Structure 1
Amino acid sequence: MAKRVTFAIPGDLETQTGGYAYDRRILSELQTLGWQVDLVGLGDGFPLPSEEQVAVATCRLLSASAQQPIVIDGLGFGALPEAAAVLQATRPVVALVHHPLACETGLTPGVAERLRASERAALAAAHWVIATSDATADLLVDQFGVSRERLRVIFPGTDPVPQAAGRGSGRLRLLSVGAIVPRKGFDVLIEALSALTDLDWQLTIAGDRDRDRGAVERLDALIAKHRLGDRIVSPGAVSPAHLAELYAGADVFVLASHFEGYGMAYAEAVAHGLPIIGTTGGAIPQTVPASASRLVPPGDVAALALALRDVLTNEPGRRALATGARAAAAALPTWARSGEAFACLLEGLA
């Protein structure tokens, strides 16, 4: 008998973010393992869909086969508690939570509470909840009422990649990867770098500039305010091949995220053997080993500037962090193992 699963995803599966990258690779791994995947598009507007968008998504979910498990990406699942409750009665429901919706930076208190209540209600209807890190799993238990008995952690995988070459001296190439949204803390990074114009560095920010117009405008305004246009480039989303080139040519990876449910860009930096400067937001300290990084509190411009100065001016220190990253790279989860864990859970449901 064929192994079949429904996978429901809001928005465009090809979107260049960590969450969508996780979805794409898990789907690919499941198909490699012999699963037939029926893909259901939930439409746009998530995680704050209109009533019409909710109605469309609900109709598509309820039209899916009731004879097989359904996995719903958390970006949509948390906004659809009523649909989740109906689905629960007819088929196994799996919620895939990359990070809780209410943890997005920049939300008003009212919107954050609305999302928290909605996601808590939706998660109550899931037979299984998959989190992408232990930190996110703990958050779901502590704040969203998910019991440990129906919770699984399935980490993102990381592909083997060449070690970054970098320059090692002269103008150091900094790389930051992430969509230009408030949660990624690019405003904090620019403020920190504005205090380091006495040092010789160049920053590339590789990430989607179409997700949040306000965040992009603030980023560009800060770069102009501090006259850093000749040092910082923000080309938007780049191809996987171009991104691989950026990692391979970087000297230091830096990302000032306020919160990460796992931090796939951080893991990629570890895989490339890069020294890492980041924050302690969410799961980052679990994803990035201390031997490879300098992590500071989220939103702390002064601490980030100090960490950057220390790493940029200390070549032996950078080499030591790079050595720590290379050592840690061998222990990173693989996509094959993540796919097998996902398939094992689905087989139990089927």
Structure 2
Amino acid sequence: MHVVLPAGVDDLSIPSGGNVYDRRVLRELVGLGVDVRETAVAGGWPRPGPQACEELARTLAEVPDGGVVLLDGLVACGVPDVVVPHADRLRLVVLVHLPLADETGIDPGVAAGLDAAERRVLAAAAAVVGTSPWASRRLVEHHGLAPDRVRTVTPGVDPADLAPGTDGVSRLLCVASVTPRKGHDVLLDALATLVDVPWTLDCVGPLRDDGHVRRLRRVADGFGDRVRFTGPLDGEPLDRAYAAADLFVLASRAETYGMVVTEALARGIPVVASSVPDALGGGGVLVPPGDVAALAGELRRWFGDERVRRDLRDAAHLRRDRLAGWREAAEEMARVLVRVRG
């Protein structure tokens, strides 16, 4: 099996859920005995320059007729003129982490162009993989795909020790790239209504040098030392951040799954979040995306009522016991590839 990924999937300085998913599923596929031939293509995906398009075209041209190719949607979905011509001779499987037009903050004209390009690519693919039931349903409905061509392979999660937390109440953790889609502004606005409560917030995730991050930093400065933007963490430092958390919060405007939520739940950490129904799975409180008042209300209930805190911890522990691992995710992906191979 051939796999085409965006370059940077192993760069720990820019961790993302998509990168983690790609790397872990491929590692487990190899462990299952699947012959994985991987190519990472550099470029400004999903809107690359000519050189990246040429490299992708060359990569696909080198795959023998009838070969199965698993393409990360970030690479494939924006360049139908490169990908679609190979659909008749190759068995293309496109893995969609997030529909291209769903990224927050894209110019409407650009989003419409990416949406049309993605529709062409997915229509030509032998199979499409969504990373959650919600994502698969959206791909079917939005792009008019036949339901039997869209498969769901949800992310796995590694087993983890229960997080001891700090004082059981006040230490909040958000793990997410600091982009408009992740809703840090919504979270800070909600916390601004709770200045009478002794909370602290650690925001873990990549920080771009852009206007959005600068605006968030100005807001955070108004909280003194109660809000910290730590940048990306991995390995033991990230484990320590989870271990210290009393409550995990994620105010995303849109997610296809929300792997950080299951990583928190794997540690028994209570969760209040938006846009992550499949990851949460009843293991916490789901609030409407972008709703500052609803988020603030749930946080005030958490801070003010030990019974609420106990119920959320119990829900997290129940969900923890039901989470599947990465081996199960790879086994499901392998079944998709076998079906495509015929």
- Cα distance in 1, alignment partners of residues 41 and 146 from structure 2: 27
Match of 2:6 in 1: 10
Match of 2:290 in 1: 299
- Cα distance in 2, alignment partners of residues 319 and 232 from structure 1: 25
Runs of 4 or more above 6 Å deviation: none
Of the three residues 245, 250, 256, the one matched with 1:255 is 250
Match of 1:97 in 2: 96
Q: Which moved more, 1:19-28 or 1:322-331?
A: 322-331
Match of 2:192 in 1: 194
How far 1:21 sits from its partner (Å)? 0.3
- Cα distance in 2, alignment partners of residues 66 and 243 from structure 1: 44
How is 1:196-235 mapped onto 2 (pairs within 5 angstroms)? 196-210=194-208, 213-224=210-221, 227-235=222-230
Secondary structure of 2:223's counterpart equals: coil
- Cα distance in 2, alignment partners of residues 53 and 164 from structure 1: 43
- Cα distance in 2, alignment partners of residues 263 and 250 from structure 1: 18
- Cα distance in 1, alignment partners of residues 312 and 322 from structure 2: 16
Whether 1:82 and 2:81 are equivalent positions in the alignment is yes
CA deviation profile, 1:68-102 (whole Å, cap 9, x unmatched): 31100011111121222122122110000112111
For the 8 Å contact 1:84–1:126, the answer to whether it is kept is no
Of the three residues 258, 271, 278, the one matched with 2:273 is 278
How far 1:130 sits from its partner (Å)? 0.7
How far 1:220 sits from its partner (Å)? 1.0
Match of 1:342 in 2: 333
Secondary structure of 2:194's counterpart equals: coil
How far 1:213 sits from its partner (Å)? 2.4
How far 1:65 sits from its partner (Å)? 4.2
For the 8 Å contact 2:127–2:340, the answer to whether it is kept is no
Match of 1:266 in 2: 261
- Cα distance in 2, alignment partners of residues 57 and 120 from structure 1: 19
Q: Structure 1: where are the runs of 5+ without partners?
A: none
Q: Which moved more, 1:125-134 or 1:102-111?
A: 102-111
Q: Structure 2: where are the runs of 5+ without partners?
A: none
Of the three residues 169, 175, 178, the one matched with 1:177 is 175
Secondary structure of 1:195's counterpart equals: helix
Q: Which amino acid aligns with 1:94?
A: V
- Cα distance in 2, alignment partners of residues 200 and 71 from structure 1: 48
What is the TM-score with the length of structure 1 in the denominator?
0.92
Q: Which amino acid aligns with 2:339?
A: G
CA deviation profile, 1:318-341 (whole Å, cap 9, x unmatched): 121011111111211211111111
Superposed CA RMSD: 1.6
Secondary structure of 1:159's counterpart equals: coil
How far 1:30 sits from its partner (Å)? 0.8
Match of 1:127 in 2: 126
For the 8 Å contact 1:104–1:183, the answer to whether it is kept is yes
Q: Which amino acid aligns with 2:182?
A: K
Secondary structure of 1:194's counterpart equals: helix
Number of matched residues? 338
